[in-house]
Amino acid sequence: MAGRLTVCPTPIGNVEDLSPRARRALAEADLVACEDTRRAGRLYERLEIPRPRLVSNHEGNEVERARQLVAQIERGARVVLISDAGTPVISDPGFRLVRACIERDLELEVLPGPSAVTTALVASGLPVDHWRFEGFLPRRAGELERVLRSSETVVAFESPRRLPASLTALAALAPDRPAAVCRELTKLHEEVARGTLGDLARRFRDQVKGEIVLVVGPAASSSAAPDIAFAVDALRRLVQSGARPRAAASVVAALTGARANDLYRGLTGRDPRE
C-alpha cells in the first residue's frame, strides 16, 4: 500500500505557532526530508517528540532526492517535507518532490501553517487585495524597476547584508512609495518598520541582523522620476568604500535611471567634462 507525502509548515520563529496537526505529522513520520538535518533535529528536541530518520533535501540534491523519496512513498513510507522555517516550496526546496508525487499519482497532503510572506503582508498595513511574491529581490537595475512598476503590493525576501543598498536603490527610484521592513517575525526581537522607501532607506543605513521581508506598496498610475539626492548618497557611499567616482557614477546611473553626469556633479561639485 502506497504511503504519502505531507508538506508540513514549521514555525518561522515562535515554536508555539506549530499546529497540533503539524505536530502529529512530524511525530508519525517514517522519514522527514529537510533542508538542514541539524536544524530539523533541534526542532524535534524543542518539541520533545521522537525523531524519525532525517534526510537532507536541498538545492544541490533535490532532483536525486525526489526520485529516492518517491520510491520510499511507493513502498508505503509516510514522508514529511519541511524547510528550515515556514512553508516548504515557497522560495525553498520541495517543488520537484511535490511534482514527482503528483505525476506518480501518490497521496499528497499539504498542511496550512506559518509563512513569513503572508505574515509580513498583513503586518505591513499595505493593500492586500492584489499582491504578488517576488522571492528574493532582483539585483539588476532593470529588474528593480520592474518591481517598482507593479500595480500590486510586492512581497520580497532580502538578506540583512544587502538591505541598506537595496533600500537606497529603491528609494532613488521611488522615494515616496509606502513600504515596510519586517524583521525577525514572531521572534523575540520582531520589528516592523513602516514608512516611505525614502524613510526606510534613511533608517536602515547600516547592516541589520535577522530574517528580512520587504513589502512595497503598489505603484501609482505614473512612475516617479529618480530622486537625485538618494542617488548621490548611494554614489558617495560607494566612493567612500573605495570605488572610483566616474565608474561608480555609471553603476548608480544604471541602477537608478539618473544621469551619470548629474550624479558626478552632485558628488564633486564639478562638471565631469572638466
Instruction: From 52, 79, 82, 83, select the one nearest 68 (Cα to Cα).
Output: 79
Query: Edge to edge, what strands does the sheet with 107-110 contain?
Result: 53-56, 31-34, 78-81, 4-7, 107-110
Cβ atoms 115, 183 nearer than 8 A:
no
**Pairing of β 53-56 and β 4-7:** unpaired
Q: What does the alpha-carbon distance between residue 163 and residue 157 come to, in Å, rounded to a whole number?
A: 10
Q: Tell me the per-residue pLDDT of 85-123, one tens digit each, with 9 for 90 and over.
A: 999 999 899 999 999 999 999 999 999 999 999 999 999
pLDDT value, residue 145: 85
Q: What are phi and psi of 194, to 5 degrees?
A: -115, 150
pLDDT value, residue 222: 46
Place of cell 492584489: 130
- The CATH code of the domain that includes 71 is 3.40.1010.10
Q: What does the alpha-carbon distance between residue 227 and residue 231 come to, in Å, rounded to a whole number?
A: 6
> Is residue 220's pLDDT more than 80?
no
Instruction: From 80, 84, 81, select the one nearest 13 (Cα to Cα).
Output: 84
With respect to residue 80, please indicate whether it lies within any of the assigned structural domains. yes
Do 103 and 140 lie in one domain? The reply is no
Do 170 and 211 lie in one domain? The reply is yes
Do 42 and 22 lie in one domain? The reply is yes
Which of 72, 95, 110 is a domain's end point?
A: 110
Do 12 and 100 lie in one domain? The reply is yes
Q: Tell me the per-residue pLDDT of 151-200, one tens digit each, with 9 for 90 and over.
A: 899 999 999 999 999 999 999 889 999 999 999 999 999 999 999 999 99
Distances (CA, A) of 25 to 72, 87, 97, 158, 274: 17, 14, 18, 31, 70
Place of cell 536525486: 64
Do 9 and 106 lie in one domain? The reply is yes
Do 102 and 14 lie in one domain? The reply is yes
With respect to residue 120, please indicate whether it lies within any of the assigned structural domains. yes
Do 78 and 120 lie in one domain? The reply is no
With respect to residue 221, please indicate whether it lies within any of the assigned structural domains. no
- The parent domain of residue 242 ranges over 228-268
With respect to residue 222, please indicate whether it lies within any of the assigned structural domains. no
With respect to residue 223, please indicate whether it lies within any of the assigned structural domains. no
Which of 110, 131, 165 is a domain's end point?
A: 110
- The CATH code of the domain that includes 152 is 3.30.950.10
With respect to residue 11, please indicate whether it lies within any of the assigned structural domains. yes
pTM metric for this prediction: 0.76
Q: What does the alpha-carbon distance between residue 126 and residue 33 come to, in Å, rounded to a whole number?
A: 35
